[in-house]
A and B are shown apart, each in its own frame.
Chain A
Amino acid sequence: MENMVNIFLFGKKYSVPDNLTIMNAMEYAGYQLVRGCGCRNGFCGACATIYRIKGDRELKACLACQTKVEDNMYIATLPFFPLVKQVYDIEKIQTNEAVMMQLYPEIYACIGCNACTKACTQELNVMQYIAYAQRGDFEKCAEESFDCVMCGVCSSRCPAGISHPQVAMLARRINGKYLAPGCGHLDTRVKEIKDGTFKELIEALMQKPLDEMKELYNNREIEK
């Protein structure tokens, strides 16, 4: 019923149905995965994988859970990559490019080869977001890097030794905490709750008999 293709897992040949993802194909071949498998839905970055189609020069990167097998695919998973993660206190951090110079100075050694962007499993413009980080434009860095799943493939290809996902993580946290506009209605509501504004209302609800709660729920007004 299925069309079979030949794939090479770490060099060893297996025949698998052609409609499987790389991850499913590994399991089909008999691997019980512990490493290199997380959400299985393209969000966690656990299953970074590098492959080459026989006869092709180009080395490609993908997430194993999001990519179909192809005939003559040579596959090596990259379940862990030693990214550099600097520690810092988010409460006491500088919010301009000085923080990058201090924590991730290697980003200024970027040679512009764009290998990171070419390797990105999420098709992000990685080199561009590093450029934004270099000049302290963290809002743009955050926006450009937002869909990053931190799989680390970019860093595995970087001749300058940059840990791109960690640089972007820092930029996003700075942006989220310090640079994005504050939220007045949120602060107001938190204060109201602390002041006990809703205490009686909630307590009254908790005392209500079931019939009244049903009545209240089934006839509540729903915002358009």
Chain B
Amino acid sequence: MYSERFQKSLAAVEAAREKNIALEPARMTAQQKEDLLAEFHPDYKKDEFRELKIGPNKGEKVPTELAETLQAHSRIKASDVDLNSIDYDVDVLVIGGGGAGTSAAIEAHEAGANVMIVTKLRMGDANTMMAEGGIQAADKENDSPAIHFVDAFGGGHFAAKKELLAKLVCDAPEAIQWLSGLGVEFDKDADGRMVTTHGGGTSRKRMHAAKDYSGAEIMRTLRDEVLNRGINVVDFTSAIELILDENGNAAGAVLMNMETGELLVARAKTVIIATGGAGRMHYQGFPTSNHYGATADGLVLGYRVGAKLLYAETLQYHPTGAAYPEQIFGALVTEKVRSLGAKLINANGEAFMHPLETRDVSAASIIRECNARGNGVDTGSGLAVWLDTPMIEAIGGEGTIEKRIPAMMRMFGKYGIDIRKEPILIYPTLHYQNGGLDIDVNGMTTNVKNLFVAGEAVGGIHGRNRLMGNSLLDIIVFGRNAGQNAAATAKDVTVGALTLDHIAKFESEIAEAGIETDVVSPKLLPDYTRKVNG
């Protein structure tokens, strides 16, 4: 139920619904997209970025908040930790218990390695759990990995590392098969054919889903498998510094109990950073769809020991974050809502764009509609446009919403909005870290040996923008890949004497560059205490 202030606009949306359903809005040309992004996408707002003064990406610009956390003090001094007192001694140390970390751990375990997961909250408290829409794989007859490659390469502005993207698309069907083999329930028809839809920027319907709990279904299954295998999971414990050995190779991490503050030492032959994204950094003041712990920790850990970042200046703002009611401000409204036929409608009832442009283009277009064209709806806490969900029932038949996007129906239903009958209000929300640590095709960082990265902490797989459904895919493909390669590499590793010398070295670089800061990192958790909006 919408209050009086929305009624006029709502009436316009309803009056135009039939016409808007029939309408096929034109897609933008390459030039139109370029101009739109340059003027309205947050990545292009120059004053929101700062040049890094130290570290492997010195001279490059990243979001101000990220620069602050990358060029911050360590939480510890080397003398706080006794590296001779080893609490955990393993082959493969996985930092992070989301989709990438658990996939990596399962594969490393399968390969016979002694593997351990350390995670700062619970296993499964991760963006994977919240991925709603689906996972891409070119497994239908009219599709191929080559077509998938072209879609993702173009959608990412031709910037992806080609060998990583080729691996992503070629390993995609096997990733689906692996998940099915673990018992993940994908939406299928009676004959077993996958029910697939479009995502923004796809040229074939290759989005596989498990209703709109796709990520949750994958995550809980992976978690169950980790537990079945008896893999050691140390939860409520964060990695706060990597440990190198005397040869400069990754050799473990300093861990901190999140509740008691106790410091622990984990020694490992190989380390996998699978710490996920950065939505809780709230770049440019945006709300976020991300989980509580998404604070770019892995980027900080890696950067401090000299691992290089790639495309850290590119973030994804999901076009459809909930803009109303305020209790769910910034929460994800899955792209699948548009895949199923809902269109974006402005305050006047006009379908102002094609609903399935890529995410960066869609987000920029919504920002333009609200802020430059004056066609937004004032919600009382900001501007928004409509996402006309009743179209889904009109197109797909009654019951489609309950069957295909029950989480969305529930989320809005709790606040008295029946999305089968009423449209919803949306505005872009900070969703995904396109960039991250630079890896080779084996998943190892390009300049720190025995340090692997998987999942959202990786940069380069997607280029400068990611397509829907390629993230759930990348955590599985590159999570498994990192686990397999980290386990294989560990077989030939002899760990030298452990050292935390990099902390003092980084500290002196901070001083030499004249950086004055009292920030310590990794951030670990955002601080929402005594604030109204979390």
- Chain A residues within CB distance 8 Å of chain B: 2, 17, 19-21, 23-24, 27-35, 37-44, 46, 66-68, 85, 87-90, 122-123, 142, 146-147, 149-150, 169, 172-177, 180-187, 189-190, 193, 198, 201-202, 205-206, 210, 213-214, 216-218, 220-223
Complex Cα distance, B292 from A31, in Å, reads 14
* A46 near B228: Cβ-Cβ < 8 Å: no
Interchain CA distance A40-B216 in the complex, whole Å: 14
Pairwise interchain contact A220-B203, C-beta atoms closer than 8 A: yes
**Best-surrounded residue of B137, B145, B177, B217 (most CB of chain A within 10 A):** B145
The answer to whether B532 touches A28 (Cβ under 8 A) is yes
- B residues near A23, Cβ cutoff 8 Å: 534
Q: How far does the Cβ of B250 sit from chain A's closest Cβ, in whole Å?
A: 27
Inter-subunit contact A46/B220 (CB<8 Å): no
Instruction: List A contacts of B529 (CB < 8 A).
Output: 27-28, 30-32
Among residues of B, the one whose C-beta sits closest to the C-beta of A184 is B192
Q: Are A122 and B410 in contact (CB under 8 A)?
A: yes
Contact of A189 among B173, B180, B191, B230 (CB under 8 A): B173
Residue on B with the closest CB to A170? Answer: B224
Q: Which B residues between 487 and 532 are near A, CB-CB below 8 angstroms?
A: 525, 527-532
Are A205 and B149 within 8 A (Cβ)? yes
Q: Which residues does chain A contribute within 8 Å of B185, judged by CB atoms?
A: 142, 146, 172, 175-176, 180
The distance in angstroms between the C-alpha atoms of A88 and B224, with both chains bound, is 10
Report the Cα distance A201→B289, complex, angstroms.
37
Contact check, A173 vs B153: say whether CB atoms are below 8 A apart.
Answer: no
Q: Could you tell me if B326 and A201 are in contact, using CB atoms closer than 8 angstroms?
A: no
Residues of B within 8 A of A181 (CB): 188, 190-192
Taking the nearest CB of chain A, how far is it from the CB of B514, in angstroms? 32
Closest to A198 in B: B145
A44: contacting residue among B125, B173, B230, B407, CB under 8 A: B125
B138 part of interface (Cβ distance < 8 Å): yes
Q: Flag if B125 contacts A39 (CB, 8 Å).
A: yes
B430 to chain A, nearest CB (A): 13
| Interchain residue pairs with CB less than 8 A apart (26) | A20-B532, A27-B531, A28-B529, A32-B525, A34-B258, A34-B259, A38-B125, A38-B129, A39-B129, A43-B213, A87-B228, A169-B220, A173-B182, A183-B180, A187-B177, A189-B137, A189-B139, A193-B145, A193-B170, A198-B145, A202-B146, A206-B166, A214-B154, A217-B151, A217-B153, A223-B142
Q: Which residues of A contact B176 (CB under 8 A)?
A: 186
Q: Chain B nearest CB: distance from A124 CB in Å?
A: 11
Separation in Å of the A196 CB from the closest CB of chain B?
A: 10
Q: Known: A38-B129, A89-B228, A190-B174. Contact between A201 and B406, CB under 8 A?
A: no
Q: How far is the CA of A142 from the CA of B198 in the complex (A)?
A: 26
Whether a CB of chain A sits under 8 angstroms from the CB of B61 is: no
Looking at B183, B192, B210, B211, which has the most chain A CB atoms within 10 Å of its CB? B183
B292 near A43 (CB under 8 angstroms)? Answer: no
Q: Which of B181-220 contact A (CB under 8 A)?
A: 181-186, 188, 190-194, 198, 203-205, 210-211, 213, 215-217, 220
Across the two chains, which residue of chain B brings its CB closest to A177?
A: B183
Tell me how far the C-beta of A154 lies from the nearest C-beta in chain B, rounded to whole angstroms.
15
* Additional A-B contact list (6), CB under 8 Å, known A39-B129, A223-B142: A34-B258, A183-B186, A184-B192, A198-B144, A205-B146, A220-B150
